[in-house]
Structure 1
Amino acid sequence: MESVKRFAAPPLSSHDSKNDFLIGLRGFFVIQSFLHTFLLVFAPGSVVHSANAQEGSHSSSLHKALKFVSILFWNDGIIYSAFILLSARTICIPFMKDKTKLSVAGSIFRRGIRLWFPVAVALAISTGVLQSTGYKYIDDFAKATGNISILVPYKIDNALIYFNSVFNLFWVTTRFSDQAGSYAFPGQMMWVINVIYMQSFTVYMTMVIIPYTRRSWRVKGAFFFIITAWWVQSWAWYSITGLLLADMATNMDFKAKAQRGIKIWRSIRCPSYFAYAVILAAGLIMQYLWAAWRPEYRDDELIAHGGLYYTGGLNEDFDVKQPQARDDNYFVLLGFLLCVETSDIIQWALANPLFVYLGQRSLSWFLVQSILVYTMGIKLFQTLHMTSEVAATAACFFAILGATAVGSEVFYRAVEVPSHVLSYTTFDWIRD
């Protein structure tokens, strides 16, 4: 009984309560992720980068208005980029508090177990449910509603394919979305966990220099690293940005210095939030220009990188279907995170109990929401037979929201917490 109780309660968090705003920020993006997943299925014209929104000829006025708002609130590029950047910002915190080899080893070892088991269980659940219900109803739904933005999940036929699909999610280092594990999962967004896991090692390998180098050198080195990673179009420029923000916040008294303002000349200082607002505005302007004015130019920025994996020249033969580390998403997130790191009001707002609760269960929400939207949600929509499509969509929204809240809590308690405990138990066992 004691062993069962041990796996029912998570280990004490390594994060101080003063960092609750970071967990709350993750919860904020959980809400955006849910909206994006739901709307891509039931109102794809309102999702800015969806195929339906790009076609645009049949979009209603409501969809056009929602598409405009979606650049801020359910933009898939900003959402997955935020999770990658926030992961880098938070996973180094335990080492910042305890700069020992045991801390590094524990973080690296536990990371894989804490992610592998929830992913494996979620993929098994989605595969089992889709095998029992069949896959055809998703295609029928897409054709009936004119949704060209979603795909029927790839069918996993046997245990070997399933095992290889999960294994590759923690092994693939390029072309992250071109793998069975991501294609087989509803919504095809499982690749995000692949990137987060792989970029964890970039953070782990880089953070170990922090106790042994000067602060000014670390900042300069990080800028050089970010520029170099940008040039070769690696997600590392997001990861090192997150690590740099963590280092400045923890070791360089960044918040207090930023609140004093940026020194311009003698005693004249410019409020730091002005510079952060400029960075944020630059990203948003690019987002709106490429969404509403010149969408055909959106991918042109991707050429201005080194074609690292296939040529010595520029990145002229990129795959537009692959998720990309983009400049506009980066500037939006960098400007926003700088405001978050230095504002007491924003940190207080993000540390509210609801956002913190969602942030602590972000992985469970991410995994459960897609399964429910593509199974229960579509089935419910098909059986409602309402004359108003808006009413049917609203009914599905509230039903799926409630089911996701319950399902993610069950998944968190039954799968994510035991995985967390198992990672600690196993590491304690192998080092004793």
Structure 2
Amino acid sequence: MNTLNRFLKSPRSAHDASNDFLLGLRGFFVVQSFLFTFLQVFAPGAVAHTPNALNSPNTTLHKALKFVSILFWNDGIIYSGLIMLSARTICIPFMTTGGGSKSSIAGFIFRRGLTLWIPVAAALAISTGISHSLSYGHVDAFAQSAGNLSIFVPYKIENALIYFNSVFNLFWVTTKFSDQSGNYAFPGQMMWVINVIYQQSFTIYMTMVIIPYTRRSWRFKGALFFIITAWWVQSWAWYSITGLLFADMAINMDFKVKAQRGIKIYRSIRMPSYIAYILVFAAGAIMQYLWAAWRPEYRNEEIVAHGGLYYTGGLNEDFDVKQPQARDDNYLVLVGLFLFVETSDLLQWALANPLFVYLGRRSLSFFLVQSIIIYTLGIKLYLALGISSNIGAVAVCFFVTLAASAAGTEVFYRLVEIPSQVLSHVAFDWIRE
């Protein structure tokens, strides 16, 4: 009984209550992720950069919808934000223990794999089982009847070997992350994000170990150089090291206190720091809006301005437009947002609300469950309703899938994610003995 109880209770987290605002920020991205996934299926014209939105009339209403989409259900900001936030948080236990022992560092790295592998394998198994029972023909029927050009029928995994390889590759692919069966087989095709987060974990682990042994000023300058070079080669390390730098500044450099004093302009004259944050955030948001509502044909031009190191000695002129990209506009929006979050007492208090913290703790489970619910229960319900009002049908599907996703998330969290966390501790303790 004691062993069973251990696998039903989450291991004690190394994060204390002072970091609840980071969990709340993750919960905020969970809300955005649900809105994006749902609207891409049932109202794709309201989601910026989708084929339906690009083909919609360029009226004032549609421009307004695209602007709202950019701020509240933008897939680029969601997946980029999760990558940066992961880097911001996974290094906290190491930094707050003053470097920790060799064993603790090894534990961080070892447990990271199991706590991601098991939930992903379980979610893909559930998705595969549904695929074999439904064949996902309802997705194609729905897309055609609704004129939805923005969703794809998930790839059907035919046997156990393909399933095993799909899960295996999700943690080994290092380029073209979205071009793999595990991603295509999962509803919504967003599983690649976990692949990037896992791969970038090692960038953080290898970089963070130097922090206790180097000067603060040199760490800051070195991180900036790292970010610039990672940007040049179009690596996701550009986002990850930024997240690590935020963690270092917050924990070791009194960034919040210094930022609240303002930016020194001349002698005793100081400019409020939030003015700089607004400028950074606005620069990214304006770029986003221009590419969505004014000149969508120029949206990918910035991707050329990188070194095409994997296939040429020149610029990145032959990139794959289907691949999710580490983008300048997403980066500026997120840096502006993180600067506000790291330095504002009011914003940290707001993000630390119980609902967002609850969602943040279950973010992985919610991320995995919501797509399955929306692409099965949601679409099936929409096709069965027969409501003459499209808005009415969408509203019913929204509340039903939201409730089902919340319930499914709790079940998945209790039965899969918590046991994976406990198993990671048990397995590491066993191999260490």
Q: TM range, normalised to the smaller chain?
A: over 0.9
Which residue is equivalent to 1:312?
313
Residue identity in the other structure for 2:55: E
Change (3 A) 1:107 1:11: same
Counterpart code for 2:32: Q
Does structure 2 conserve the Cα–Cα contact (< 8 Å) formed by 1:94 and 1:103? no
- Given the superposition, is the C-alpha separation of residues 60 and 123 from structure 1 closer, same or farther in structure 2, using an over 3 Å criterion? farther
Runs of 4 or more consecutive aligned structure 1 residues displaced over 2 Å after TM superposition: 59-68
Partner of 2:55: 55
> Is 1:12 matched up with 2:12?
yes
Within 5 Å, which residues of 2 pair with 1:311-350? 311-350=312-351
Show the 5 A alignment for 1:286-297.
286-297=287-298
Instruction: Measure, in 1, the Cα distance between the counterparts of 2:63 and 2:368.
Output: 29
Contact 1:46–1:64, Cα closer than 8 Å, also in 2: no
Q: Which residue of 2 aligns with 1:257?
A: 258
Residue 133 of structure 1: CA displacement?
A: 1.3
CA shift at 1:64, angstroms? 5.1
Q: How does 1:157-236 map to 2 (within 5 A)?
A: 157-236=158-237
The residue correspondences of 1:29-428 to structure 2 (distance < 5 A) are 29-57=29-57, 65-98=64-97, 99-100=99-100, 101-428=102-429
Conservation of the 8 A alpha-carbon contact between 1:46 and 1:65? no
* Cα pair 2:307 2:316 within 8 Å, conserved: yes
Deviation at 1:269, TM superposition (A): 0.7
Q: With the length of structure 2 as denominator, give the TM-score of the two structures.
A: 0.98
Q: Which whole-Å CA distance do the structure 2 matches of 1:352 and 1:135 have between them?
A: 38
Determine the C-alpha separation between the residues in 2 that align with 1:60 and 1:409: 41
Counterparts in 2 of 1:384 and 1:65: CA distance versus 1, 3 Å: farther
Q: Which secondary structure does the structure 1 equivalent of 2:22 belong to?
A: helix
Does the aligned pair in 1 maintain the 2:66–2:293 contact within 8 Å? Answer: no
- What amino acid sits opposite 1:8 in the alignment? L
SS in 2 for 1:279: helix
Q: Secondary structure at the match of 1:269?
A: strand
Aligned-partner SS, 2:317: coil
Contact 1:21-1:356 at 8 Å conserved across structures:
yes
Shift of 1:429: 1.2
| Letter paired with 2:304 | I
Q: Secondary structure at the match of 1:149?
A: coil
**SS where residue 264 of structure 1 aligns?**
strand
Is the partner of 1:263 in helix, strand or coil?
Answer: strand
Unaligned runs of 5+ in 1: none
Shift of 1:65: 3.6
Report the Cα distance in structure 2 between the residues aligned to 1:114 and 1:385, rounded to whole angstroms.
42
Residues in 1 aligned to 2:118 and 2:400: alpha-carbon distance in whole angstroms: 27
> Structure 2 CA distance, aligned partners of 1:342 and 1:313?
40
SS at match of 1:347: helix
Relative to structure 1, is the Cα distance of residues 328 and 423 closer, same or farther in structure 2, using a 3 angstrom cutoff?
A: same
Q: What CA distance in whole angstroms lies between the structure 2 residues aligned with 1:92 and 1:333?
A: 19
Residue type at the aligned position of 1:386: I
Structure 2: stretches of 5+ with no match in the other structure: none
1:60 CA drift (Å): 8.6
CA distance in 2, matches of 1:42, 1:63: 16
CA contact (8 A) 1:284 1:328 kept: yes
| Matched position secondary structure for 1:13 | coil
Report the identity percentage. Answer: 74
Given that 2:56 and 2:62 are in contact with CA atoms closer than 8 Å, whether structure 1 keeps it comes out as no
Q: Distance in 2 between matches of 1:18 and 1:103?
A: 22
CA offset digits 1:86-125 (Å, max 9, x no partner): 0000000010022122221111000000000000000000
**CA separation of 1:246/1:192 partners in 2, compared to 1, >3 Å: closer, same or farther?**
same
Q: Distance in 2 between matches of 1:102 and 1:96?
A: 15
